Structure 1
Amino acid sequence: MTAFDAALKVILKHEGGWVNNPRDPGGETCLGVTKRTWQQWTGRIDVNMKALTPAKVAPLYKAWYWDKVGGDDLPAPIALCAFDFGVNAGPGRAVKLLQLIVGAERDGQMGRKTLQATQQYVQAHGIAKLVRAYQNARRDYYKALDTFDTFGRGWLRRVDAVETEALRLIK
């Protein structure tokens, strides 16, 4: 199983199946993919969100989230955290958060300088400290959102669960 496959399994466990919560700005969603995102991915307006499967959404998750956060180039524990945050809040925001923590330029693009800064941070402080710092920053991000009262408890449970899983990946 690749690092992406393992991370996607964690993501899909948290995303669940089809939902259409009127208070969710994402609207109709299945397996964590909003209708708008699926329409963009497929190039079709008429989509049946209830028909999505993990196999159907995996290529989207790989191209639009995993690859954009540099999942294959990051240590697996922080790749999982960044991937999860990218899915929930956008890959650019996920990368900017990592850049803030490791002291790289905050441009939202995963590149050589961000990877080097991440490697230096890990060498100096350890991967566990990076995972904890990243997940704590995620908690702060969610707490500042207007929709925290509605969705906050679920977001924080997810952050906690992903942090636990990421720390388990440390060898």
Structure 2
Amino acid sequence: MNANVNTGAQYKLPLLGKVITLAGGDAFERIIPFTQAYEGGESDDADDPGGWTRYGWTLATFLTLAPSLADFDGDHDVDLEDFHQLSVTRSVPLYRAVFFDKYALGKIGGRTAAVTFDASVNTGPGRGARFLQQAFNDLPLSVREFAPVLSLTADGALGPKTLTAVANVCARPGVDAELARKALKHRLAYYDSIKDAPVTKNGVVTYPFRKFHGGLTNRVMDLASFLERVFQ
């Protein structure tokens, strides 16, 4: 546990305006209050390409979960009834299993794990991994030479090669924080790149990301501040 984190203390996210309760523990336990604050409760915004969402889980993604994770009503499958029974508390172990433990994020630096997790929840694991790989490649050669490879293919696959390289450089003083900052910059660049991307739905072309761009950008800026508070 980070001794500088006052577990149970209240923290107001500057741009979102929500007050969250800080937690100690591993990177997942520290970042999950932030992620849940931004994912919110239930949403069915017609402009959101993700569709119906509860506690950050789209219906489409939720229905792919294993019964061992999300069969809340005990009928041996995962269906709409289970989705209705999803709660903020029940979402926590799902987040850990699907977005944190599955990709062994506990093996890399805490800040880097936190930003990769939150990006994976918000943009998908492939993009979260790509931001991390791009950030690694941006590090000075004098830092990357401590890893088994000098560069990573930004293919969005968070496998042993990427994890080992990132874990090696994160062990160097100050690199975890630097890598996290660089990953956030790539995430911001991605949001900028899709701002004017057209989406066709029922034959109608719209630009939904223009509506959400400000909120997505605020999330990254709030995350940068949050990291400084909980990963000192």
Same fold (TM over 0.5): yes
* Greater strand proportion: 2
Aligned position for 2:32: 8
Matched-pair identity in %: 29
Residue 52 (structure 2) pairs with residue 28 (structure 1): yes
Equivalent residues in 2 for 1:114-133 (5 A)? 114-122=162-170, 123=172, 126-133=175-182
Counterpart residue type for residue 101 of structure 2: D
CA distance in 2, matches of 1:48, 1:68: 22
If the length of structure 2 is used for normalisation, what is the TM-score? Answer: 0.66
CA distance in 2, matches of 1:50, 1:143: 34
The DSSP-based 3-state class of the residue aligned with 1:104 is coil
Where in structure 1 are there 5+ consecutive unaligned residues? none
Match of 2:159 among 111, 125, 128: 111
Aligned position for 1:152: 213
In our comparison, the structure showing a higher alpha carbon Rg is 2
Equivalent residues in 2 for 1:89-108 (5 A)? 89-102=123-136, 103-108=151-156
Aligned residues: 171
Equivalent residues in 2 for 1:34-45 (5 A)? 34-41=58-65, 42=70, 43-45=77-79
Stretch moving more, 66-75 or 39-48: 39-48
Residue 183 (structure 2) pairs with residue 134 (structure 1): yes
1:124 Cα offset (Å):
7.7
CA distance in 2, matches of 1:2, 1:64: 16
1:39 Cα offset (Å):
1.9
Match of 2:107 among 73, 88, 104: 73
CA distance in 2, matches of 1:31, 1:63: 15
Offset from partner CA, 1:49-85 (integer Å, 9 cap, x none): 4542122112221122112443211211111100010
